[in-house]
Structure 1
Amino acid sequence: MPINKHQIIRYQALDKCFRNNGKRYFIEDLIGACNDAIYNFSGNSDGVQKRQIYDDIAFMLSEDGYAAPIEKNKVGRKVYYFYTDINFTINNQPLTESEALELKETLVTLNRFKGLPQFEWIESMTTRLEASFQFGIDANQIIEFDQNEFLKGKEHIKDLYHSITNKTPLTISYKSFSANTEVEIELHPYYLKQYNNRWFVFGKNPKYDNITNLALDRISKIELLEANFINTDIDFQEYFEDIIGVTFSNEFQSEAIIVRVDIGLWPYIETKPLHGSQKVVNKTDEFVDIKLELIPNYEFESLILQYGEKIVVLEPKHLKEKIQDRIKQLIKKYNCAD
């Protein structure tokens, strides 16, 4: 069974008590020490039970735990606990089997980042840990992530990451899909985001009031710029709350959008909501109407269209008409292709 944070905190607290040969620790003292340690870590404690401490001691004594040299002496009707070897500590012991299992599972997940700049250390660490603990991990045999290993632009992640953390302005050579020539852009980078298997960097270009968004696969060169960094107070977790994807405009406000979903598609939309604001407003045997609160953008339109006839926008009128127009253009092109 995986070890949780409170268990680890209790083991550390008990280890400290057992190593202290200047005080006798009875069961009540051990409970108090564990409660104090948990409180200092999390700011609250539900109260450690006596049975938990007995179980913790049993685990620490076991070969599956730390094989700790814990002894107990009786004073009257009470018992205190201590290490027979005061130089012993669980922090100097090799990983237990349960800890090794957790580490192995973590390494399997970390393997998803192999090949990405800024995460080169993972491959080296994984190899060393596999050799040290004889793990023999082959993550691709049991789990796979949706990641394009040949994605253009990912080589810039490391430089951009460092520039963000070190607050370093940059000069970026950039060519958008719609431009014929490359331009140089001054950017004070704030945030990296991946969407639809593409990476984007968000920052401040002094020429514009709004945040600038650049796709990494359109960047050809990044150079450090000698200038004072322009800070921001934007919380980018909140910044993206009202949109799907990465296209954001201050010209538009979040609005209520009503979408009708075919009943056959509903289980998929229910378990994987279109947006965090999704709420059911009407449900029949044939369809489910849901309400979304967001700023409609190109990514949202594309998301709706990918479901074809299974999803229809009902409100607002301007968005419904825009989707209808895109469908008409699509039909027109299909007709021309005959």
Structure 2
Amino acid sequence: MPINKNALIRYQVLDKCFSNFGRKYFREDLLEEVNKVLVELNGPDSGIKRTQFYKDLDFMKSEAGYGIELGDYKEGKRMYYRYTDPNFSIKKHLLSHTEQQTLKEAIRVLSQFQGLPQFEWLNELVPILSDKLAMNDTNRQAILFDSNVDYTGTQYIVPIFNAIHHQTVLGIKYQGFNDPHPYDLELHPYILKQYNNRWFVLGYNDFKNSHTWNLALDRILSIRDLPQKAYHSHNINWEDDYFYDIIGVTRIEDQEVTEVVLEFAASLIPYIRTKPIHPSQREVSVAKNGDTTLSIEVIPNYELERLLRSFGARVKIISPEWLKEKLIEELTASLKQYDEA
């Protein structure tokens, strides 16, 4: 469990007292020192009692804490506390054992980005952190991400991220798959979005007067900062508003949310139930053979059509009719290609 701010303050005060071999700190003295600091920072009634004091000692001694070796020495009927090692201090062990383990796992995740363009800084940082935390190569890899190291847009992630963070307009040379020639545009970047192992940036295109202009990073040819340009800010709620009603990244303007009703084969239903195709997904009916009718409420787009095609014969579109007819036309054209062959 992460250490909260007040707990860390208490541990640091106790550490200072335990390290001071010029004075004997009895329990009452330690409580007074801790509470004096807490009251200064948080006001009256923020001090701790004996019960919390002993809990703090137990945590600091534990493996989950700092593993301190604390001596308790009797003087008359009272007992004072100090480290058994005069040179010890938790300042030399800033992270608890639990926090070290959490950081180690984070480093293992970060290490998977080593070697990717724009992540060269990890090549230096990961070994240093690994050495400081006494990590070694015997640790088995426990997590893998779905990634494509040959993806052509990765080198633009960091520059675009920085431009978003610093609110900098970008000059971009771009060529979409259907564009015969590259063209230049100015983009006020707002958000980076990953979908289906591809990266996209959405932002304001002043030439088109669109706040949600969508560019695929793998179609960007070059990028440069335009610091002299005034940045056009926004108040779009991307996660709960813009992206909620769609699958993927394409939101067609003036297109309304539509109820899409789908019938899935029984063999596919366990996968669809455990990984819904959209947050609005709900079951409408279940046939005796297990085939299940579901509905989702989305703005239809290319990504939805692509997803439905990927299910092949195990899905049937019930409504809307226009979407069903569109996919029938595409499937018919596809079958015709095989007939001609």
TM-score range, shorter chain: 0.7 to 0.9
Describe the shift of the 1:155–1:252 C-alpha distance in structure 2 as closer, same or farther (beyond 3 A): same
Question: What is the letter of the counterpart of residue 121 of structure 1?
Answer: W
SS in 1 for 2:193: strand
Q: Contact 2:260–2:320 (CA<8 Å) still a contact in 1?
A: yes
CA offset at residue 283 of structure 1? 2.1
- Tell me which of 295, 308, 311 is aligned to 1:307: 311
CA offset at residue 95 of structure 1? 5.0
CA offset at residue 300 of structure 1? 0.5
SS in 2 for 1:212: strand
CA offset at residue 177 of structure 1? 0.8
CA offset at residue 265 of structure 1? 0.8
Question: What is the letter of the counterpart of residue 295 of structure 1?
Answer: I
**Residue 272 of structure 2: aligned partner:** 269
**Residue 234 of structure 1: aligned partner:** 236
Show the 5 A alignment for 1:1-338: 4-6=1-3, 10=7, 12-17=9-14, 19=16, 54=54, 56-62=56-62, 65-68=65-68, 70=70, 83=82, 89-93=89-93, 97-137=97-137, 141-210=141-210, 211-225=212-226, 226-238=228-240, 239-285=242-288, 286-337=290-341
Describe the shift of the 1:67–1:153 C-alpha distance in structure 2 as closer, same or farther (beyond 3 A): closer
Q: Contact 2:118–2:154 (CA<8 Å) still a contact in 1?
A: no
Q: Contact 2:202–2:215 (CA<8 Å) still a contact in 1?
A: yes
Question: What is the letter of the counterpart of residue 13 of structure 1?
Answer: R
Question: What is the letter of the counterpart of residue 108 of structure 2?
Answer: V
Task: Describe the superposition over 1:166-190 as per-residue Cα deviations: whole angstroms up to 9, x where unpaired.
Answer: 1111221111111111111111111
Q: Contact 2:170–2:223 (CA<8 Å) still a contact in 1?
A: yes
Q: CA RMSD in A?
A: 3.7
SS in 2 for 1:5: coil
Aligned mates of 2:215, 2:297 — CA distance in 1: 26
Aligned mates of 2:53, 2:292 — CA distance in 1: 52
TM-score scaled by length of structure 2: 0.80
Aligned mates of 1:52, 1:268 — CA distance in 2: 48
Task: Describe the superposition over 1:41-89 as per-residue Cα deviations: whole angstroms up to 9, x where unpaired.
Answer: xxxxxxx998786454223124664243556689999x89855699965
**Residue 44 of structure 1: aligned partner:** none
Task: Describe the superposition over 1:280-333 as per-residue Cα deviations: whole angstroms up to 9, x where unpaired.
Answer: 222233211112111111111110110111111212222222222222222222
Task: Describe the superposition over 1:149-171 as per-residue Cα deviations: whole angstroms up to 9, x where unpaired.
Answer: 11112112222122111111122
Q: Contact 1:18–1:81 (CA<8 Å) still a contact in 2?
A: no
SS in 1 for 2:251: coil
Which range moved further: 11-20 or 298-307? 11-20
Aligned mates of 2:230, 2:2 — CA distance in 1: 42
| Alignment gaps of 5+ in structure 2 | 18-22, 43-47
Describe the shift of the 1:62–1:216 C-alpha distance in structure 2 as closer, same or farther (beyond 3 A): closer
Question: What is the letter of the counterpart of residue 288 of structure 1?
Answer: T
Describe the shift of the 1:52–1:321 C-alpha distance in structure 2 as closer, same or farther (beyond 3 A): farther
Task: Describe the superposition over 1:244-263 as per-residue Cα deviations: whole angstroms up to 9, x where unpaired.
Answer: 11111222111211111111
Aligned mates of 1:18, 1:129 — CA distance in 2: 25
Q: Contact 1:19–1:83 (CA<8 Å) still a contact in 2?
A: no
Aligned mates of 1:220, 1:135 — CA distance in 2: 40
Percentage of identical aligned residues? 34
CA offset at residue 92 of structure 1? 2.7
Aligned mates of 1:291, 1:52 — CA distance in 2: 53
Describe the shift of the 1:277–1:75 C-alpha distance in structure 2 as closer, same or farther (beyond 3 A): farther
Equivalences, count: 323
Task: Describe the superposition over 1:212-265 as per-residue Cα deviations: whole angstroms up to 9, x where unpaired.
Answer: 111111111112333211111112223111111111122211121111111111
Aligned mates of 1:116, 1:221 — CA distance in 2: 18
SS in 2 for 1:188: strand
Aligned mates of 1:216, 1:256 — CA distance in 2: 31
Describe the shift of the 1:196–1:134 C-alpha distance in structure 2 as closer, same or farther (beyond 3 A): same
Question: What is the letter of the counterpart of residue 228 of structure 1?
Answer: A
SS in 1 for 2:318: strand
Question: What is the letter of the counterpart of residue 308 of structure 1?
Answer: G
SS in 1 for 2:158: helix
Question: What is the letter of the counterpart of residue 295 of structure 2?
Answer: K
Q: Contact 2:72–2:81 (CA<8 Å) still a contact in 1?
A: yes
| Alignment gaps of 5+ in structure 1 | 41-47
Aligned mates of 2:337, 2:51 — CA distance in 1: 72
SS in 1 for 2:272: helix
Aligned mates of 1:282, 1:75 — CA distance in 2: 78
